[in-house]
Structure 1
Amino acid sequence: MKAIFPGAPADTDQPVLIGEAPEPEPADNEAVVAVEAFSVNRGETFQLDGGLARRWDGWRPGKDVAGTVARAAADGSGPAVGTRVVAHPPAHGWAERVAVPTTDLAELPDSVDAVTAAALPLAGLTALRLLRATGPVAGRRLLITGASGGVGHYVTELAAASGAAVTAVSATVERGAKLMELGACELVTSVEDAAGPYDVVLESVGGTSLPTALAALAPGGLLVWFGQASREPATLNFFDFFGGPNQARIQHFDYTTSDTTYGHDLAALVRLVAGGRLHPEIGSVRDWSRTADAIIDLRARRVRGNTVLTVS
């Protein structure tokens, strides 16, 4: 079968290559999904750069896929052959077929197409679990940095629908315009312009953004650190806390640790989309032969929202 392989990490013009890969050999609890669409996440572009430790020998990219079950799980779990699904495999999803544990997929209704579904898994799971980690947000002021990406869109819509007053930080007004439509109360183009104080800060940029956002917290507020898109280390000064925020809390977040299976939350995301309560923003849809171009555009921040490739 055809699949996408990493290119040379230093090759910015050809980050991936299409080649031949062996057919998946599923475990008893895994279904084989014929992939119709997949999305590209910024974290996967970092892995292609060789910049993350979670890349292993034989690794191929692909964590967000939608398609049809081509082979049901041998243990009888999961959906039957022919069922449309969205899935979150650990890797290898940028291919014609991929094996996925049945605990990590959810069925799709006719009203949710494969392109929309493929944009859900990693960004949607992160947003859903991120808000779960903050506790109730109704009536609370919430600041999210790096908000114009897929996670930021989902967080903004879900938090606003739950009663939070959301301030979104986007690099430009144009990139952040959709966030106001999704329920944000305020859009700023720099974290320095976020007045605060905020009960909750969701920080995904790192570098100088983190200490600046931390200073905007209300006394006893919570900052959840869930990314470092700038790829710059953050430095905190202990003595700055005496000037505020008093008794602030910083919490590291990793969406994989709260629950190691994804099917239940994927089903929740699908229900929200089908019910018109969650609206994935698809910024780019292309044939998977153009995956390299899509990655280059994503790295250059030329895409707002999710980047989805269709498997022809």
Structure 2
Amino acid sequence: MFAIVNTPKGVAPLEIREVAEPKAASNEVIVEVRAFSLNRGELALLAMRPEGWRPGQDIAGIVVQRAADGSGPDVGTRVVGMAEQEGWAQRVAVATDRLTTLPENISFAQAAALPMAGHTALRILRFSDPLEGKRVLITGAAGGVGHFAVQIAALGGAEVTGVVGRPERATGLRELGASDVVTQVEQARGPFDLILESVGGASLTAALGLVAPHGTVVVFGNSSGEDTPFNLYNLFGHEGVRLQTFFSFNPGTSTSLSTDLAQLVALVEAGKLTVPLGLERDWSELALALPALQSRQVLGKATFHVR
């Protein structure tokens, strides 16, 4: 079969090469991949991983081999899931507790955009459950996690303010549920009961000044790469504030990934959640699309069809 392989010293940073077929553990199915999506964390890994490394987590496709332990879906079932790695390929092994079935009215491209960004949005919003009547601030609102978080927070009854890096990146966010969109955290009209912060540095410093008493700031990224200057005295008067870090698959995080994916799929199927497909291409064009992705020219998620 063929797969995308990391080639940091090559003419292109990625190449499609012939590789061995995947081998499944007893609790894994083999999925014929029809589409995959790219996450910003994977962009960073490309420069760090050696020649021959095979990336890829978010995938959608059809089961072609059932799990040996009898768990999971039957052969022929449409699924969406998250592989450990090696998902940018024609076939991949995926644990049955990391996938869910996919109805016919959701495309493989839509589904492939859901796993990492969608489940991250679901889980960070649970730090302020219930959302009804809450004021929520979301930095990086134009990205994949941001697009999903804006919608899910609004569906939960929250008043949502999104922060984007440039005015043109605000496109469509109000239609998805944001009541306000700004280009700098300092422009947001606080206080906020929940702040989802993925930029770090000066953005996080400013966000800490906007949290309401007993509010929560969830830090789930640091896209700026900056350190965050922080003075504890700035939180005086903000009684009971919680500063919470989040990484995917934190030990002790409740709800399995398959349950999260099923919830996301149900929302999309019901027309309540829009999948932000900012770029949809054939997988042979991935290397050509990398500059646009790295410079944040893509709104939402980038997905690629596997032939």
**Shorter-chain TM-score range:** over 0.9
Match of 2:294 in 1: 299
The 3 A distance-change label for structure 1 pair 88 and 201 is: same
Given that 1:40 and 1:295 are in contact with CA atoms closer than 8 Å, whether structure 2 keeps it comes out as: no
Match of 1:249 in 2: 242
Match of 1:47 in 2: 45
Report how many residues are paired: 305
Query: Alignment partner of 2:174: what SS?
Result: helix
Query: Alignment partner of 2:157: what SS?
Result: coil
The match for 2:35 among 34, 37, 58 is 37
Q: CA deviation at 1:255?
A: 2.7
The 3 A distance-change label for structure 1 pair 306 and 161 is: same
Q: CA deviation at 1:103?
A: 1.0
Q: Could you tell me which amino acid in structure 2 is paired with residue 311 of structure 1?
A: V
Whole-angstrom CA distance in 1 between matches of 2:194 and 2:35: 35
Q: CA deviation at 1:297?
A: 1.1
Whole-angstrom CA distance in 1 between matches of 2:302 and 2:274: 14
Match of 1:125 in 2: 119
Q: CA deviation at 1:218?
A: 1.4
The match for 1:84 among 78, 85, 91 is 78
Given that 2:8 and 2:50 are in contact with CA atoms closer than 8 Å, whether structure 1 keeps it comes out as: no
Whole-angstrom CA distance in 1 between matches of 2:294 and 2:282: 18
Whole-angstrom CA distance in 2 between matches of 1:259 and 1:63: 21
Given that 2:127 and 2:216 are in contact with CA atoms closer than 8 Å, whether structure 1 keeps it comes out as: no
For residues 190-213 of structure 1, the C-alpha deviation after alignment (integer angstroms, 9 at most, x for no partner) is 111112111111100011100101
Match of 1:96 in 2: 90
Whole-angstrom CA distance in 2 between matches of 1:44 and 1:188: 27
TM-score normalized with structure 2 length:
0.95
Q: CA deviation at 1:293?
A: 1.8
Given that 2:6 and 2:52 are in contact with CA atoms closer than 8 Å, whether structure 1 keeps it comes out as: no
Given that 2:208 and 2:235 are in contact with CA atoms closer than 8 Å, whether structure 1 keeps it comes out as: no
Q: Could you tell me which amino acid in structure 1 is paired with residue 39 of structure 2?
A: N
Query: Alignment partner of 2:178: what SS?
Result: coil
Identity of aligned residues (%): 49
Q: CA deviation at 1:76?
A: 1.2
Q: CA deviation at 1:261?
A: 4.0
Given that 1:64 and 1:87 are in contact with CA atoms closer than 8 Å, whether structure 2 keeps it comes out as: yes
Q: CA deviation at 1:7?
A: 2.3
Query: Alignment partner of 2:304: what SS?
Result: strand
Given that 2:3 and 2:16 are in contact with CA atoms closer than 8 Å, whether structure 1 keeps it comes out as: yes
Query: Alignment partner of 1:49: what SS?
Result: helix
The 3 A distance-change label for structure 1 pair 196 and 86 is: same
For residues 135-193 of structure 1, the C-alpha deviation after alignment (integer angstroms, 9 at most, x for no partner) is 21110111010110011111100101111000000112321121100111100011111
Match of 2:306 in 1: 311
User: Is residue 203 from structure 1 mapped to residue 197 from structure 2 by the alignment?
Assistant: yes
TM-score normalized with structure 1 length:
0.93
Whole-angstrom CA distance in 2 between matches of 1:56 and 1:128: 33
Name stretches of at least 5 consecutive residues in structure 1 with no aligned partner: none
Counting only pairs closer than 5 Å after superposition, residues 177-256 of structure 1 correspond to structure 2 as 177-242=171-236, 244-256=237-249
Whole-angstrom CA distance in 2 between matches of 1:57 and 1:129: 34
The match for 1:63 among 37, 52, 57 is 57
Q: CA deviation at 1:249?
A: 1.6
Whole-angstrom CA distance in 2 between matches of 1:16 and 1:145: 30
Counting only pairs closer than 5 Å after superposition, residues 104-143 of structure 1 correspond to structure 2 as 104-143=98-137
Counting only pairs closer than 5 Å after superposition, residues 145-184 of structure 1 correspond to structure 2 as 145-184=139-178
Name stretches of at least 5 consecutive residues in structure 2 with no aligned partner: none
User: Is residue 287 from structure 1 mapped to residue 282 from structure 2 by the alignment?
Assistant: yes
The match for 1:271 among 248, 266, 271 is 266
Q: CA deviation at 1:245?
A: 3.2
Query: Alignment partner of 1:179: what SS?
Result: coil
Q: CA deviation at 1:240?
A: 2.3
The 3 A distance-change label for structure 1 pair 260 and 101 is: farther
Whole-angstrom CA distance in 2 between matches of 1:105 and 1:287: 23
Q: CA deviation at 1:57?
A: 9.4
User: Is residue 7 from structure 1 mapped to residue 7 from structure 2 by the alignment?
Assistant: yes
